[in-house]
Structure formats: structure tokens, C-alpha cells
Amino acid sequence: MTHTFVTGTATHIGGRDSNQDAWLVSDGLFAVADGLGGLQDGEVASRLTLDTFDAAFTADRTVSGLLGACREANRAVWRQANGQDATMGSTLAVLAMTSDAAAIVLHVGDSRLYRLRNGRLEQLTHDHTVIADLMRAGELSESDAQTHPYRNVLTRAIGVAPEVDIDHSGASCEPGDRFVLCSDGLFKVLSTDELKVMLASEVEPQRSADQLVANAVKREAEDNVTAVIIDVH
Ligand code: MG
């Protein structure tokens, strides 16, 4: 089944000195990357991740091509970091329309994909962070997680090792669905309920993306904030 997509994108530097978030809206390929590293290194890493990923997936739109594109992005950032003797990396959250298995969600790190369907908001990724692992194991409550000393520590990222573990799965995708890709700067200041209310109250995707990011920034978001909205028709 072929869908058409209408998208909206917004990003903001938040309280940081540079915006290390990056987004991608391409042919049947949507992604957010949140760079890690020193001032320019994080920016380089997130952009390189998305550019490499986009080019490789465009050449092979199968699921195996999608996974290969992620590994290629990982190698590109790893090589760049080693070449500059810098520490850099990136998260990557992707919604991709593959040629052999329809919609696939793929992610590394703590950027997220949500789907709003019939008024219900579902998170389709689970964060690769120390605290998310502890919460899944029942060893940490949600309120304790907010002050945990390791709350910003990722367990996986693009470009920090020669190989990367990738999570991917099929994503049911129907007309009327609204998908949201976002960096942690958004969901760390807006609760899931607030996200749901905001997403459901604005029909037009660009205005909705602008509204999400503006509301996060109003909460004095310390981090960069990025949202990509994908409406399925
Ligand atoms: Mg961030």
C-alpha cells in the first residue's frame, strides 16, 4: 500500500551554545539525530549521520539496505572522530518506507518515535539509556529517574565504536496516523500527556511541530529541541 505524507519540522537551540540536533525529511525517509561531543563535533556527527544514512538508503531501499545504511553512518562518524582525534557520536531515530517490508522504525540512542492513532499516543522506541534499562528492570521509578546521576548516559550511539547495535521493527502505518520523531530536549520537558494533547489539538503538521518546539522552549529547555511530524494520508 502506498501512502502519501505531509510533514512539519521544527528545531530550536534551547539553552545551548549550538544546535547539535539535525533532522531529515526525504523520499519515504524521516529521521532525527542528536549529536554528542564538543561544540562543533556534535553538529558534525548528527549531520554526517543523516547525510550518510540518506545516501545509502536511497541506493538500497530494502530492510537490509536500511540496516546497512545505519551501519554505514556509524562507520562514517567513527572514522571522522578517529581522524580528528575527537569524541563524537549521535543518536538516530528513523521512520522509513522500505521496498520489501513497508514501514520500519529503527533507532539507536534516546531520540524517539511516537504514533498518534485514534487519540492514543504510543511510543514506538525505547531509549537506549542507563535509566531506561533500570526502569525496565523495575529497579528505578520514573520520579527517581529524573534526578538520577546517569540520567543522560546513553548505552548506545552512532559513531562511538566500529560496530553498532541497531533496534528495528515493523511499524503499522495507516491513513490518519500522525508520527512524531523528536530529540530528548522535547520529551524531557513535556510529558507524554502534554504531547498527546498538543498533537491532537493542531491539525496542520507544520504548525503542530512549531507549537511543540515553542512549548518546550517556553519551559526553558536546557537542551536543543527538535520535532518532525509525519501525517499519513
Ligand atoms: Mg538532546
208 Cα to the center of ligand 1, angstroms: 20
Q: Which structural domain, as residue segments, surrounds residue 65? A: 5-232
183 Cα to the center of ligand 1, angstroms: 6
The phi and psi torsions of 228 (rounded to 5 degrees) equal -120, 125
Q: What is the pTM of this model?
A: 0.96
The total number of structural domains that make up the chain: 1
What is the amino acid identity at position 192?
T
136 Cα to the center of ligand 1, angstroms: 21
Per-residue pLDDT of the chain (233 residues; tens, 9 = 90+): 679 999 999 999 999 999 999 999 999 999 999 999 887 899 999 999 999 999 999 999 999 999 999 999 999 999 999 988 888 999 999 999 999 989 999 999 999 999 999 999 999 999 999 999 999 999 999 888 888 888 889 999 999 999 999 999 999 999 999 999 999 999 999 999 999 999 999 999 999 999 999 999 999 889 999 999 999 99
Nearest in space to 181 (alpha carbons), one of 219, 137, 139, 124: 124
State the Cα–Cα distance between residues 34 and 92, nearest whole angstrom.
7
Q: Are 110 and 154 in contact (CB under 8 A)?
A: yes
CATH of the domain at 139: 3.60.40.10
Over residues 159-211, the pLDDT tens digits come to 999 999 999 999 999 999 999 999 999 999 999 999 999 999 999 999 999 99
Q: How many CA atoms lie within 13 A of 19 on its CB side?
A: 14
